[in-house]
Chain A
Amino acid sequence: MSIERLFIANRGEIAVRIIVAAKELGITTIQAYSEADADMLAVKLADETVCIGPAKATESYLDVNRVVAAAIEESADAVHPGYGFLSESPEFARAVEQAGMKFVGPSATTIERMGDKVAARQAAEAAGVPVVPGSKGRIGSVDEAVEVAAKVGYPVMVKAAAGGGGKGIRIAQTEDELRILAPQAQQEAVAAFGDGGLYVERSVKSPRHIEVQIVGDGDKAVHFYERECSLQRRRQKVWEEAGADCLDEETRENLCMAAVALAESVNYRGAGTLEYLYEASTKEFFFIEMNTRIQVEHPVTEMITGFDLVREMILVCGGAPLSVSQDQIKRSGHAIEVRLNAEDPFMQFLPWPGKVESLKMPEGEGVRFDHFLYEGYQIPPFYDSLIGKLIVHGKDREEAISKMAVALEDLEINGLKTTIPLHKALAKDPSVASGDFHTQWLEPWLEAGNLKPENT
């Protein structure tokens, strides 16, 4: 039984994106919105709409009972969670299924399993996906930490097993350092969490963030190649590419096929992403986590493969088998996406929502702009600052970068502050051009004053 009435439990550009894909499939769209979002573009585009509560996300988009009740009330037969909000909540997936509707994502059990770092690591190891070398489980003593470190090689990261929020983490370059730092991490962990269990893993040097897009139908899975998302600020991706030019063909093949093996081993249904750290100096990659949803940066993959991933995830979650086999998925050219946020890049990225006074959009072959803007739209201050994504596709990385520079010049959003100047500067930067960056590159670059109004 396929999906006929799709309830969209999200907002912003991803809601617009889902509506477009669903309409092309002939599915009736039902858009949920909070009181602060009555004017949003998705509400104007959807076939039907329903208000699910006040501006505050905890009382609307994040309220499982309210969202599920609204979907039942509207006679939806499926719910698309988008990204963020409840997209990776096993409780939500379970409630949707228990109400007799389809969840456009994996099963609650799969979300639960992949959301648990230890369980996800075990599933990855079992499927032959390389993980960061480290202790098997928690260790109780400094001597044991030293023993593990000798095996995995220095530098090592010693972490409190019960940790979180960056507490109880130390990086040791040598055994002597580890003997000093491990007890510190242990004390910090006892103080913060009442648990002195430690965990040791190799510290990856200048890691690049590489991720593989997969789609599964609950039985078979395919990959749509990889993306590189190493340009990050405060662990938020800023600029994303497909493919990752730093990989050689053999490494790419191994990385992508290991992702398919993991997806099939957990009977994955829907779109998902395996995130890896890649150490360019040793050509090693390590699984870090799996995102069990469609991601913000999915368009770059669509640009290089020609497939509509949102359409595909709606189809498989409606019960259809994968519409595509691995040999039909080819990559061509290079794509780049930049995230446009309503923030002032010259004022510590202070959020700066406003009213869209005028809007001029870039056009042309290989240019895509995913957004939820229109002239006269007041961007609400209650949700995250992403207002759109600019995506370009060129025959190679060099052409994609120059296309991005041109598209950014052609894009004008007046009435608010945006991160367009940051992207203009990155598109001109020699390190970005040569691909010489990693996940800890952007913040020092900003601190060094590389972003100046006159350069953008």
Chain B
Amino acid sequence: MSQVLSPLPGTFYVKPSPEAAPYKAPGDAVVVGDVLGLVEVMKTFIEIKAEFAGTFTAYIAEDGLPVMAAQALAEVAE
């Protein structure tokens, strides 16, 4: 099990837009480069991309709430 960490402080989003479905659901395959979420920092949205492949397990940080740098955002089983 590996954790995806936030590179920056900001606000975490699990969806590309409020109406859209989350990027990943538990059980989804993850390949390197897949977008797993967004961190909004100072009005800029940064895509959080998978740096390893595996199976998506869960989001750890909550959608729409503040996160710190290096805080765990999601979990992927390798």
A residues lining the B interface (CB < 8 Å)? 36, 55-56, 342-343, 350-353, 380-385
Contacts and interface: CB of A to CB of B under 8 A. Distances in A.
**Interface size grouping (class) on chain B:** 10 to 19
A382 B66 contact: yes
27 contacts: A36-B66, A55-B11, A56-B11, A343-B42, A350-B44, A350-B46, A351-B8, A351-B41, A351-B43, A351-B44, A352-B8, A353-B41, A353-B42, A381-B8, A381-B9, A381-B10, A381-B40, A381-B41, A381-B66, A382-B42, A382-B66, A383-B42, A383-B43, A384-B42, A384-B43, A385-B42, A385-B43
Contacts of A384: 42-43
Nearest to B46: A350
Contacts, number: 37
Contact of B42 (A36, A55, A381): A381
Contacts of A383: 42-43
The binding surface of chain B is classed by DSSP as strand
A356 to B, nearest CB: 14
A384 B42 CA distance: 5
A383 B8 CA distance: 14
B41 A55 contact: no
Contacts of B41: 351, 353, 381
B7 to A, nearest CB: 9
Contacts of A351: 8, 41-44
Contacts of B66: 36, 55, 381-382
Contacts of A381: 8-11, 40-42, 66
A60 to B, nearest CB: 13
Given A353-B8, A381-B9, A385-B43, 14 more contacts: A36-B66, A55-B66, A56-B11, A350-B44, A351-B41, A351-B42, A353-B9, A381-B42, A382-B10, A382-B11, A382-B42, A384-B42, A384-B43, A385-B42
